[in-house]
Structure 1
């Protein structure tokens, strides 16, 4: 029989931080429990039946001051623990300067991953060690939850929304991947593995995988095949917003609002084009809801994002 691990290895920087917080909470809880138990024991002995210990009423000022100190100490401890725990979430929310971006789509009942160069995996995810990895997560059907216990990270993946999950790998190895949200009859079979490899081994693995068109190329083909180019290319006679350089910029809307053209905005503009209409344009674009799969939406978004990168490079 194999060796049973009581404590999972900490395979990411978030795991090390999370384990530290868990240990801290256990120590704090243990000290408070010990304090309360000691006071109960002390009072039980001191004020036992027949004891001559004084039972006179304590002065009001003493009770008031004791209650004030105890309340302030409890509130201060709560705020300190909250700030300590929230600092990790804030750190993970900051987009890294350099990262390996991998697109992952959850569907009943598998995880489909696509690397920047077009390599695809199902229920496996190969990543380089000692690098920050950013997963762009989408669901094709129901709510899933991408969970790697060794990373101490879990991210819900909701249909119709693009979410991101970031982690910095620490240890080379193979770690279990689960869906932590009940998603149907074969939910328990929606498992896989994350393989953390040395950078040289990861580069070698990429070269040995069959390359399809990368996301940007897939998106460009879809952009033409679905008729988007007929309106949004510069040579089009139809008056529609041009997409070069739009990703990441502030877009003025017809109702006077300003909105950032991020993944969510691009996705909503494709599926619900009449919701956030660009100022100066008519709401004539048809909805592509039901006409595009989740993977196709990811590819189109990647292509539109690449148009902004190309414009910036100029």
Structure 2
């Protein structure tokens, strides 16, 4: 297990290739500083040295050694930057053969992760330290970009196609995920966490998560799901509107739909909105709510209904 290295200009390094990416950057960064100081220093020196003019005789028209020097040295440095950068790029781009594939779906404004066993999470991904993970990603609406600064990796997530992103975490604990492509009103709230655990912790979490919650009271379960399923990114728990309507006092009242009809917000309405949200849309709000079909059990749906009921 590697340690978490601090970096002068970047967040801590938390993946196997983070150090390689930083090394390429710092090489180019300090090389640029060196030549900036050299060139600007020469300009300042000549301005000062010949501020009253220079009346010496005509000098040589050219110098072959000097011309070769200022041609060959930059050429070698540029080739070195290319080869080093290309090698690092190939390392970052190609996942190991033993990587675990996890499917990722980006949607306004959340990330959904599906594990090989069918388990789904929203805005939270669990991974094992020092084990490679390959994300197979797509989007249901617009272009998003999956970005983990501590891993030094970023990849666009495009509707209608798959892109891949891999990492091998070297540090335990949560790592922040951002969307790095502006995708609408809730862009800044399209956040997720990658929770890096030991194998024992991961196995225990997977076993516990696979169990259906049959003990938590329904309103409390709904409140937890409201956070874990990122409902808060589009809905407030008071009467104020966000991307979608506020939930306070909405249960038991009619809402006007975009097709000109009205609907009563009851248990059936909420269930339908969770499973087929774009069948109808409340007038004045965009049809961007993702479907939770296959992501919620019947009891979890009941929990969300009871939670919304409790917001009086």
Which TM-score band applies after superposition, normalised by the shorter structure?
0.5 to 0.7
Alpha-carbon contact 1:112-1:121 (below 8 Å) kept? yes
SS in 2 for 1:61: coil
Find the counterpart in structure 1 of residue 25 from structure 2.
Answer: 22
28-37 vs 151-160, which moves further = 28-37
Q: Is the 8 A contact 2:147 2:180 kept in 1?
A: yes
User: 2:13, 2:151 within 8 Å by CA — same for their partners in 1?
Assistant: yes
Check conservation: 1:148, 1:177, Cα contact below 8 A: yes
Q: Distance in 2 between matches of 1:93 and 1:155?
A: 10
CA distances 1:251-283 after superposition (whole Å, capped 9, x unpaired): xxxxxxxxxxxxxxxxxxxxxxxxxxxxxxxxx
How does 1:272-287 map onto structure 2 within 5 Å?
A: none
Question: Who is 1:34 aligned against?
Answer: 37
User: Which residues in structure 2 correspond to 1:108-127 (within 5 Å)?
Assistant: 108-127=108-127
CA drift at 1:40: 2.0
**1:201-280 equivalences in 2 (<5 Å):** 201-210=201-210
| Equivalent in the alignment of 1:177 | 177
Structure 2 Cα separation of the partners of residues 166 and 56 of structure 1: 64
Deviations 1:34-57 (A, max 9, x none): 21133223323432316xx66333
Tell me how many residue pairs correspond in the alignment: 209
Q: Which residue of structure 2 lines up, in the alignment, with residue 311 of structure 1?
A: none
Determine if contact 2:17/2:91 at 8 Å carries over to the other structure: no
Q: How does 1:1-314 map to 2 (within 5 A)?
A: 7-49=10-52, 55-62=56-63, 65-210=65-210
Two-structure CA RMSD over aligned residues (Å)? 2.6
CA distances 1:183-217 after superposition (whole Å, capped 9, x unpaired): 122111111111111122112111111279xxxxx
Q: Please give the TM-score of this superposition, normalised by the length of structure 1.
A: 0.61
- Contact in 2 for aligned 1:143/1:159 (Cα 8 Å): yes
Contact 2:146 2:179 (8 Å CA) reproduced? yes
Shift of 1:73: 2.2
Q: CA deviation at 1:145?
A: 0.4
1:30 CA displacement: 1.6
- Runs of 4 or more, structure 1, over 4 Å off, are none
Can you give the 5+ residue segments of structure 2 that lack an aligned partner in the other structure? 1-7, 213-290, 295-312
Relative to the length of structure 2, the TM-score reads: 0.61
Question: In 2 relative to 1, CA 82–131 (structure 1 residues): closer, same or farther, beyond 3 Å?
Answer: same
SS at match of 1:90: helix
